[in-house]
Amino acid sequence: MTGRNLLAAVALLMVATACNDDVVRPKLEAWVGAEPGELSGIGTIQVGTPDQTTFAFDVKSDASGVHGVFTASDVAGESLTTDPTVNPANSFTAFRASSGFCSLSSHGAEFDATGVLVESGVVVDPAVPYTVKACDNGSAVAGMDTWRIEIPSRNFSRDGIVTGDIMKQ
C-alpha cells in the first residue's frame, strides 16, 4: 500500500468511525438553534367595526439566534412591543419557517417572543409571551396575506386578512 492509499484508508476509517448513523436507517441531524428564515410585515387587520390592529415587524432567524423588532397596536390604545435593543428583558424565543395557520404552510412562518404590553398608557405586563403567525400569499396588491397574534396568558387572539404586506424570505 502506498503512502497516499494509506492516508486515504485512514481518513475513510476516521469518517466511518465518527459517523453515528445506522447505514440501513440514517437519521437527519438536528438543526442547532432556530430554523433559518426571515418574516417581516407592515399593515392592518380589521376585526369588526371599529376594531383594527396595526402592526410592523421584521424578525430574522440565523445561526446567531432569533432577533428583530415587533410592534402592534389597536384603536383601544393597547400596544405590544418587542425590541431587545431598547429593552433587553424582551426577546424573540423561537422561529418556525412554516405555519399551519396558512392554507399552504410553506407560505408562512411563526415566531414566539416576549414583549411589553401596554393598556390605556399603563404597562400591564413588561414581559408577556406571545406568538405571531403570518402568511405571505402574494403581493400586497393581491390582498391575500393573513396575520394572527396569540397572547395565551391574556386569553387573547386576533387574526385577519392584511391590508399591507407580509414578506417571507
- Has residue 48 been placed in a domain? yes
10 found inside a domain: no
* Cα separation, 97 vs 16, whole angstroms: 32
pLDDT < 50 positions in the chain:
3-31
Overall domain count for the chain: 1
The whole-angstrom separation of Cα 143 and Cα 164 is 8
| Domain carrying residue 72 | 37-168
Q: Record the cell numbers describing residue 106, joined without a space.
A: 410553506
Between CA 139 and CA 130 the distance in angstroms is 27
pLDDT at residue 143, as a whole number: 77
Question: Residue 26: what pLDDT?
Answer: 42
What's the CA gap between 169 and 161, in Å, rounded? 20
pLDDT value for 33: 57
Q: What pLDDT is attached to residue 50?
A: 66
